[in-house]
Amino acid sequence: MRARAPASSANLGPGLDVLAVALDLYVEVELEPAARLSVESEGEGSELPADASHLAARVAAAVLGHDRVAIRVRSEVPVARGLGSSAALAVATAAAAGADDPLGVAARLEGHADNAAASYAGGLVAVNALEDGWRISRFALDPGLEFVALVPDRLLETAHARAILPPEVPRSDAIFNLGRLALLLEGLGDRDKLVPAAAGDRLHQPPRAQLFPEAPHLLEALERAGARAACWSGAGPTLLGICDAGEVARIADAGLAALADAGVPGQSLVLRADLVGLVLGEDARLPQRATGVGAGAGAGDADAGGAGDAGAGHVGAGAGASASGGVPEETPEETPEETPGGTPGHTLGR
């Protein structure tokens, strides 16, 4: 069985541990019966150990009850960069292994229910842990919005990014985030109402800036270039600009220049929302792309790939660096305090 799941950006500023949007980079997983476990990987994450410690092997064994399986993974999603690579891998592997509830399996074994929900359902979603399982809520996403992802070629260990968060927060900060979350959801559904303040956050981005001090400057650069709002993607270090579709190539160039000015090697990607989520069967193959690659602020661009189409994102390398690679598998960042036991059946809510 073959399955494909999209990348995702979680939190989106005020929606810590809850909100995520699926993005059009993909992980494809194919499983076949075998005499013994084997893991083959291509693309992003191919340098990870190809043994029983691999996340795909652990998920497949948990679903099948054994590890007599050949696993092939192809991934476009940069690893350990805050783009939900592990959650997408876990969802796709669970589905390819025949899980009744790929979201529940991924949330339990990988730990990022928000990313997993977006990879499973596609689009803009929130996830909640209820007594009977995970509940996904879908929200409107203006089709005129696209995204610029600044992906530094550096690690920001998820464990460190989580450990730096305070165990308690002032009531005023909690109220601030709730208000900004409402503002953000309104703006994502109608881009004419999306303002930079909608991505405001007091719970996780300010303390995490200690680990990535260039981040505030880069977020400001995205907004100055025309992004309607900008935020961290998950625990970072990727930063996300939420932009009008007609402006993304120019904003991506500006973001690339900002990376270079800050001395941060990395790449600038133009991405669309994936509105499909998990795909099974022959349609689950990775899309064919013709990606333009460049360096510096004048990097070439191409049309961004849509949900499941054969588009190509604007890709560039800032400060003389190439695309990310050679990094370890993401560790779980954000697991809600209330976690249903076992592998609950998930339901879709409004």
Write out pLDDT tens, residues 266-278.
999 999 999 999 9
What per-residue confidence (pLDDT) applies to 316?
55
Residue 69 placed within a domain: yes
Q: In 3D, which of 6, 12, 235, 21 has the Cα closest to residue 106?
A: 6
pLDDT at 164 over 60: yes
Q: Is pLDDT at 347 greater than 80 in this prediction?
A: no
Phi and psi, residue 6, nearest 5°: -85, 160
Residues 60 and 106 in one domain: yes
Residues 123, 185, single domain; the answer is: no
| Domain containing residue 278: CATH number | 3.30.70.890
**Structural domain for 118, as ranges:** 2-139
Which one-letter amino acid corresponds to residue 162? Answer: R
The end-to-end CA distance of the chain, in Å, is 31
Q: Per-residue pLDDT tens for 177-214?
A: 999 999 999 999 999 999 999 999 999 999 999 989 99
In a domain, 22, yes or no: yes
Tell me the whole-structure pTM to 2 decimals. Answer: 0.84
Question: Which residues have CB under 8 Å from 109's CB, separation 6+?
Answer: 55, 58, 59, 62, 90
Same domain, 116 and 194: no
112 neighbors 129 (Cβ within 8 angstroms): no
Q: Domain with 44 in it: what CATH number?
A: 3.30.230.10
Per-residue H/E/C for the chain = CEEEEEEEEEECCCEEEEEEEEEEEEEEEEEEECCCCEEEEEECCCCCCCCCCCHHHHHHHHHHCCCCEEEEEEECCCCCCCCCHHHHHHHHHHHHCCCCCHHHHHHHHCCCHHHHHHHHHCCEEEEEEECCEEEEEEECCCCCEEEEEEEECCCCCHHHHHHCCCCCCCHHHHHHHHHHHHHHHHHHHCHHHCCHHHHCCCCCHHHHCCCCCCHHHHHHHHHHCCCCEEEECCCCCCEEEEEEHHHHHHHHHHHHHHHHHHCCCEEEEEECECCCCCEEHHHHCCCCCCCCEEECCCCCCCCCCCCCCCCCCCEEEECCCCCCCCCCCCCCCCCCCCCCCCCCCCEEEC
| pLDDT value for 301 | 35
In a domain, 339, yes or no: no
Are residues 162 and 285 both part of a single domain?
A: yes
| Total structural domains within the chain | 2
Q: Are residues 62 and 113 part of one domain?
A: yes
Q: Residue 126: pLDDT above 60?
A: yes
pLDDT of residue 300: 32
216 located within any domain: yes
Query: Average of pLDDT values for 216-231?
Result: 98
**Residue 90 CA to its chain's centroid (Å):** 13
The pLDDT of residue 290 is 60
Q: How many CA atoms are closer than 13 Å to the CA of 85, on its beta-carbon side?
A: 27
Residue 295 has pLDDT above 50, yes or no: no
Q: Give the confidence band of 334 by pLDDT, cuts at 50, 70, 90.
A: very low
- When pLDDT is averaged across residues 158-167 and rounded to a whole number, the result is 83
